[in-house]
Amino acid sequence: MSYSYFTRIYAHRGGGTLAPENTVQALQLAHHMGFAGVEFDVMLTADDEPVLMHDAEFGRTVFGAGQMNETRWADLQRKNAGAWFKDPRYAGARVPHLDHALSFCSARNMHMNVEIKPAPGRDARTGELAATLCARYFPQDSNRASIDLPLLSSFSAEALAAAALAAPHLPRARLWRELPPDWAAQLAVAGCVAAHVRHDHLDEARCAAVKQAGYGLLAYTVNDPRRARDLMAWGVDALCTDRLDLIGPRFR
Ligand code: G3P
Ligand code: MG
């Protein structure tokens, strides 16, 4: 049985390799393929609007020069976030507001792993505003099961602390590339329910230690089904994958 804060498989950045990342089209694809969980990244615009975005600097998924810290929401909306993917079906994709993603996923009962991804110098504000907007869709309600709440995660302890102040009832997870020696203390101090760790830094002993300490464990980004099975055998609760075609929603 999976940990109560997770569904088992998360489509990374919305649609993995099958749709332009962090777009509504990616979320639509994950839903269409039957995924019960999606991960996406949230960053602030210059005027404090939380949007789905991975990179603080443009040039990869949004063409041209520029930075999120200098770009207002009204200007970002005019930018294209799909053309880089070179599939005519997605050529017109835009950078969505977090509000749009919350509305889309909550209406379809898709579990969200909302990764708070601050642009430089924006850690606390990003955590605060992302959590506040999530809480508008998911207000405190003791009758609601933990799996029905979005799980907020971040590499930034500062962002998670701000999220905890803004929406203490929403579960939080700490992201690490590699578990630090004091991972248990850091999870406890931050009031996190889970650790999200890069899969190639996990082994059977580390997985067992996290699980024995009573925390949830998500491994990212797992694209090989054999590796996925090993991780699950070691007790990993959930996986984030780019290969929606290989590690589908009913993967065991
Ligand atoms: O949340 C898991 C994973 O998305 C973290 O890495 O860089 O893909 O956001 P990244
Ligand atoms: Mg992410």
Q: Which CATH number covers residue 172?
A: 3.20.20.190
Stretch 9-24: mean pLDDT: 98
Tell me which residue has its CA closest to atom 5 in ligand 1: 220
Q: What pLDDT, on the 0 to 100 scale, is given for residue 183?
A: 98
Instruction: Over range 152-167, report the average pLDDT.
Output: 98
Q: Is residue 4 part of a domain?
A: no
DSSP 36-71: SEEEEEEEE-TTS-EEE-S-SBSSSSS-SS-BGGG-
- Give the residue from 43, 74, 47 showing the smallest Cα distance to 58: 43
Mean pLDDT, to the nearest integer, of 223-246? Answer: 98
Q: Say if residue 232's pLDDT is above 60.
A: yes
Look at residue 225 and tell me if it is in a domain: yes
Full residue range of the structural domain in which residue 181 is found = 9-53+96-241
The answer to whether residues 113 and 38 touch, using CB atoms and an 8 Å cutoff, is yes
Mean pLDDT of the residues in the chain? 96
Residue 18, domain member (yes or no):
yes
Residue 251 in domain: no
Specify the pLDDT at position 126: 99
Number of domains in the chain: 1
Residue 153 inside a domain? The answer is yes
Average pLDDT over residues 100-121: 98
Q: Which two tokens stand for residue 10?
A: 């998360």
Q: Is a pLDDT exceeding 90 seen at residue 142?
A: no
Label residue 6 by pLDDT band (50, 70, 90). Answer: very high
Looking at residue 1, its pLDDT comes to 41
pLDDT digits (tens, 9 = 90+) for 59-84: 999 988 999 999 999 999 999 999 99
76: in domain: no
pLDDT of residue 3: 67
pLDDT digits (tens, 9 = 90+) for 182-218: 999 999 999 999 999 999 999 999 999 999 999 999 9
Query: Is any ligand 1 atom within 6 A of the Cβ of residue 112?
Result: no
Residue 185 covered by a domain = yes
* Pocket flag, ligand 1, residue 174 (CB < 6 Å): no
Distance 113 CA to ligand 1 centre (A): 10
Distance from Cα 21 to the centre of ligand 2, integer Å: 10
Query: Is residue 237 domain-resident?
Result: yes
